[in-house]
């Protein structure tokens, strides 16, 4: 299997040296797991610490006096509510009631915003954003290739990272960030993550990736840190009830259907796609995202059909074993009248319709 045409993060050689099993992820040559295996990596993150290369994500700077009004006009969440050093989860709505991508918006200053977008959609997002810019006084800059991004997640993450920085980490609130030095390297230190655990995402210059990665692994060795691949990243985010673009969100899925009404601030003023979202809301949603748990042995997978009685009523958007909870779980779209906790549904698993039950999300919540 040739990896020649695949994009590589600055940590590619390191992943291979660690025995990473490499796969094509949206055009990127990435480790799906390391020799420890998915379950070990997942459990390490929940009980100790896990280290993730997320350098393939995209970073787009929006700078200038109109930065806030511009970003506010192209996203669902309310950018005017952010303060310096704060980030929020958001989405780019399209003109069909769907979503171009989900993202994090970081406010560095009133005239400096950083948009962090998904790896597989960076180009698409860049084209979309630049096409929406009219005569606003902003400069857009796709700086994705300049950055590496390493996530350190888990109860021991803060202790490990603190050994490498003079920046006081404990006072950084969840979804807040600061600029500092990690192992002497200039970095953005963000208390964010995609695992449901406490932890940080560190952004730095791409040429410092190996140094930072190796230092974090070395420093965290005594605490039992493990490098974690994309498989564990997926089981961790699913257990935490977090959406993945292309599954729970897509060009034809709105934030309202995906249970993301909380990042959809219709009252904030005009924004691209607001009309279509409002029309959808007025008409009433035809489907809602729910979490479910299998009640019979068997594993629901992405794309499996959901049944109520003999009727096909929906589809599984993400399904997998949940290593920490030791259950088989999933997220699915069902009609709103079936979207209640306790509702019995059936999942078609390769021809057998197995019993499942709607449960509250997140499936897993960390101890505070």
Partner 1 sequence: MSNIPENLRYSKDHEWISVDGDVAAIGITDYAQSSLGDVVYIDMPRVGDKFAAHEAFGSVESVKAVSEVFTPIGGEVTEVNEGLNDTPEKVNSDPYGDAWFIKIKMDNAGEADGMLSSAEYEEYLEATA
List residues binding partner 1 (CB under 8 A): 21, 32-33, 37-40, 231, 235, 297-299, 301, 320-321, 323, 328, 350
Q: 178: burial class by Cβ within 10 Å (0-12, 13-18, 19+)?
A: middle
- Residue among 1 and 283 whose Cβ is closer to partner 1: 1
- Residue among 46 and 288 whose Cβ is closer to partner 1: 46
- Residue among 192 and 318 whose Cβ is closer to partner 1: 318
Tell me how far the alpha carbon of residue 229 is from its chain's centroid. 14
- Tell me the CA distances in angstroms from 238 to 156, 266, 365, one per residue in order: 21, 27, 12
- Closest CB 321 distance from partner 1, rounded Å: 5
Which alpha helices (H) appear in the chain, and where do they start and end? 12-17, 38-47, 67-74, 122-132, 157-162, 209-220, 230-239, 274-283
Entry field: residues in the chain: 368
- Closest CB 235 distance from partner 1, rounded Å: 6
What whole-number distance in Å separates Cα of residue 118 and Cα of residue 218?
28
What whole-number distance in Å separates Cα of residue 172 and Cα of residue 259?
27
- Closest CB 241 distance from partner 1, rounded Å: 18
- Closest CB 84 distance from partner 1, rounded Å: 41
- Closest CB 320 distance from partner 1, rounded Å: 6
Residue 284 structure tokens? 């009433």
**Strand bridging mode 50-53 / 226-227:** parallel
- Closest CB 231 distance from partner 1, rounded Å: 5
- Residue among 19 and 309 whose Cβ is closer to partner 1: 19
- Residue among 237 and 287 whose Cβ is closer to partner 1: 237
- Residue among 43 and 187 whose Cβ is closer to partner 1: 43
């Amino acid at each position: 299997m040739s990896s020649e045409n695949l994009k590589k993060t600055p940590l590619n050689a390191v992943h291979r040296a660690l025995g990473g099993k490499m796969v094509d992820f949206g055009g990127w040559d990435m480790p799906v797991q390391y020799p420890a295996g998915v379950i070990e990596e997942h459990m390490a993150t929940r009980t100790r610490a896990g280290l993730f290369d997320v350098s393939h994500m995209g970073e787009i700077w929006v700078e200038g006096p109109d930065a806030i009004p511009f970003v506010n006009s192209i996203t669902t969440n309310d950018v005017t509510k952010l303060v310096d050093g704060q980030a929020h989860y958001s989405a780019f709505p399209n003109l069909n009631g769907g979503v171009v991508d989900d993202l994090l918006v970081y406010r560095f200053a009133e005239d400096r915003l950083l948009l962090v977008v998904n790896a597989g959609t960076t180009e698409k997002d860049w084209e979309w954003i630049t096409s929406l810019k009219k005569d606003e006084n902003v400069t857009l800059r796709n700086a994705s290739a300049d950055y590496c991004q390493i996530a350190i997640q888990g109860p021991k993450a803060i202790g490990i990272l603190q050994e490498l920085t003079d920046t006081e980490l404990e006072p950084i609130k969840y979804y807040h960030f600061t600029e500092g030095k990690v192992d002497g390297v200039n970095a953005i230190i963000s208390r964010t993550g995609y695992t449901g655990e406490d932890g940080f995402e560190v952004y730095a210059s791409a040429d410092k990736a190996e140094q930072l990665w190796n230092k974090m692994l070395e420093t965290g060795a005594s605490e039992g840190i493990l490098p974690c691949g994309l498989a564990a990243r997926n089981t961790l985010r699913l257990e935490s009830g977090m959406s993945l673009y292309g599954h729970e969100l897509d060009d034809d899925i709105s934030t309202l259907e995906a249970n993301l009404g909380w990042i959809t601030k219709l009252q904030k003023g005009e924004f691209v796609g607001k009309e279509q979202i409002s029309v959808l809301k007025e008409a009433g949603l035809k489907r809602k995202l729910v979490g479910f748990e299998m009640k019979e042995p068997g594993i629901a997978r992405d794309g499996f059909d959901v049944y109520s009685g003999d009727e096909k009523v929906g589809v599984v958007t993400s399904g997998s074993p949940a290593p920490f909870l030791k259950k088989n779980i999933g997220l699915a779209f069902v009609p709103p009248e079936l979207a209640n906790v306790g509702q019995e549904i059936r999942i078609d698993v390769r021809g057998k319709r197995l019993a499942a039950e709607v449960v509250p999300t997140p499936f897993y919540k960390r101890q505070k």
